[in-house]
Amino acid sequence: MQIYTNEFDVIGKRNPMLYGQFIEHFHRQIYGGIFDPTNALSDDDGFRIDVLDAMKAIHVPIIRWPGGCFVSSYHWIDGVGKERIPYFDKTWRVEESNEFGTDEFIKLCKKLGCEPYICTNAGTGTAEEMSDWVEYCNLSSEGKFSKLRIKNGYEKPYGVKFWSIGNENYGRHEIGAKSDKEWGRLVAEAAKMMKHVDPTLELTAAALTDLDWNINLLRNSGQFLNWISIHQYWDQIHETNCPADYQGVLAFTNHTEDAIKKVKGLLIAMGMENKIKIAFDEWNLKEWYHPNVHTIEQGITKEDYVYPRDSNDDNSLYTMGDAIFTACFLNALNRNCDIVGMANFAPVINTRGCIYTYQKGIVLRSTYYVFYLYTNYMGDLVRDAKYLDMNKLCVLNKGNKEEMVDEVDICVTEFSDKAGLAIALVNKSADNFSEVRFEFEAMGEVIGYFISGNSTSSYNDINHTEIEIQEECLGEFKKGMKIMLRPHSVEIIQIGCL
């Protein structure tokens, strides 16, 4: 395969928020995950130091919190101050201690040096409650809620810039689900009140690829919005925990841009593409496993609906297949950086996250190393790339139908602050090397950073490491240079970046 690109092919500058993360009050993501005050590995504020270090290493730019479905029955006022009263979370049907709330979330973001992104309760909550939350976070001293923050020991306002109105309020699974017409009006009123408190904040609202939903949303509240939010989990296994095999994962890589293209087309049709960007603020290959909750017939015992969630943390599930898909989706986000300005991998820790915690340490799953490659070695200016002689793979999708898939996924970048190119190459072939030839002008030393593993089912676990980043020097660049990509691998090729 030959790749062609030149300096005039720049699509745009990638927003660093494309590599954002997400945490929800679900299972061990927060309690026993990132926040574990009784653990010897935690700091004085209760945060796991090893987790913080791992997140810093992938330069997390923004974190979305507190949900997710959890937020649609969450009342933020109960999670601030000294008196934290536990309550029954009607979404996930467990007791929420309220020990981790707004102030703790802001502390986390400050420790990481990242932007906080707060998702508000548009299920059982009100427009006024949402705007009160903005007051608590962003006003200096006016009003009772900013005074409450000061009373709680936080003199300076938090200055939270990014806010989402609601989560997946279009879905029957969501507490406080709305019709398309109800949603457009609620978002308009909530946005109005929130921006009356702080006109500088940036707002997004829950959307999907449904035409009626989005038209009602944008017609009613588009003038207030900076973003439109979409979510996707390609392998929908929340009731079964039976993931797609490697061929099925490759078939999913054919559809990484489907939702982006549909929403972008609507924004263009409504003349809003220059005002509103896409926030792909919840995504992962695999749906979270939470059986007998988002169903009419609820599980009765905890053995039915709570304890099975432990199966999310079977590290053998997170293989090179997950890494391949994640890299392909990050490439898609980069290639669409003109319209997608934010994305949030869901979640960052435990469940389907890229980091797994246990009492004495952490495991970095295959997807963690994909984020490490992209945040440390890719450039921020995305180029268009042309290619010839792309091999095709015939795979069986999860519906047992044949699909033809490009063997290699490509994203070409350069840097706004230094010379050089960085090219992401994903070889999807399970068993074969793939030859790539660079038919463009460049100069300098060529270095490859890659992950592969011994097989497509390679994974990391406690005292079991099959996937880690490797580096190789490939010599001086010459036009027509050939690179052999290892089977089932994700590789960043840097040219002239030293």
**pLDDT digit string (tens) for 96-137?**
999 999 999 999 999 999 999 999 999 999 999 999 999 999
Chain segment 308-357, per-residue pLDDT in tens: 999 999 999 999 999 999 999 999 999 999 999 999 999 999 999 999 99
Alpha helices in 122-243 (DSSP H): 127-138, 143-151, 180-197, 211-221
Which among 313, 378, 320 is positioned nearest to 349, based on CA atoms?
Answer: 313
CA 261 to chain CA mean position, Å = 18
Confidence of residue 296 (pLDDT cuts 50, 70, 90): confident
Mind listing the pLDDT tens digit for each residue in 189-236? 999 999 999 999 999 999 999 999 999 999 999 999 999 999 999 999
CA dist 163 and 372 (Å) reads 26
Catalytic residue among 96, 135, 168, 202: 168
Closest CA to 188 of 212, 214, 165: 165
- The whole-number average pLDDT for the span 301-305 is 97
Task: For the chain, give the mean pLDDT.
Answer: 97
Report the distance separating Cα 473 and Cα 460, nearest Å. Answer: 26
Q: Which residues contact 442 (CB under 8 A, 6 or more apart)?
A: 421, 477, 479, 495, 496
Asked if 282 is an active-site residue, the reply is: yes
Percent of the chain with pLDDT over 70: 100
| Residue 415: band (very low, low, confident or very high) from pLDDT cuts 50, 70, 90 | very high
Tens-place pLDDT, residues 7-17: 999 999 999 99
The reported pLDDT for the residue numbered 221 is 95
Question: Is residue 136 within 8 Å of residue 76, measured between CB atoms?
Answer: yes
Sequence-distant (≥ 6) Cβ neighbours of residue 459 within 8 angstroms: 315, 316, 317, 318, 319, 320, 365, 366, 453, 466, 467
**Which amino acid appears at position 375 of this protein?**
T
**Equal CATH topology for 14-377 and 381-495:** no
Beta bridge partners of 438: 3, 481
Which parts of 198-311 fold into alpha helices (H)?
211-221, 246-252, 258-269, 302-305
**pLDDT at residue 185 above 80?**
yes
* Cβ atoms within 10 Å, residue 124: 14
Quick check: is 297 catalytic? no
CA-closest candidate to residue 2, choices 489, 374, 430, 410: 410
Length of the chain: 498
Q: Do 130 and 165 touch, CB atoms closer than 8 A?
A: yes
Q: Which of 262, 282, 184, 170 shows the shortest CA–CA distance to 225?
A: 184
**What pLDDT is recorded for position 173?**
95
Q: Distance (Å, rounded) from C-alpha 187 to C-alpha 418?
A: 42
The tens digit of pLDDT for each residue in 56-92 reads 999 999 999 999 999 999 999 999 999 999 999 999 9
For the domain covering 14-377, report its CATH number: 3.20.20.80
- The model's pTM is 0.97
Closest CA to 294 of 171, 184, 160, 389: 171
Q: Can you give the residue ranges of every domain in the chain?
A: 14-377, 381-495
- pLDDT band for 295, please (50, 70, 90 cuts): confident
Under CATH, to which class is 381-495 assigned? Answer: mainly beta
Q: What is the pLDDT of residues 355-382, one digit of tens each?
A: 999 999 999 999 999 999 999 999 999 9
* Catalytically annotated residue among 96, 282, 287, 414: 282
- Kindly report the CA angle at 382 between 475 and 270, in degrees rounded to 5? 165
Q: Which pLDDT score is estimated for 489?
A: 98
**Secondary structure (3-state) at 320:** helix
Please give the Cα distance from 4 to 497 (Å, whole number): 19
On whether the CB atoms of residues 23 and 55 are closer than 8 A, the answer is: no
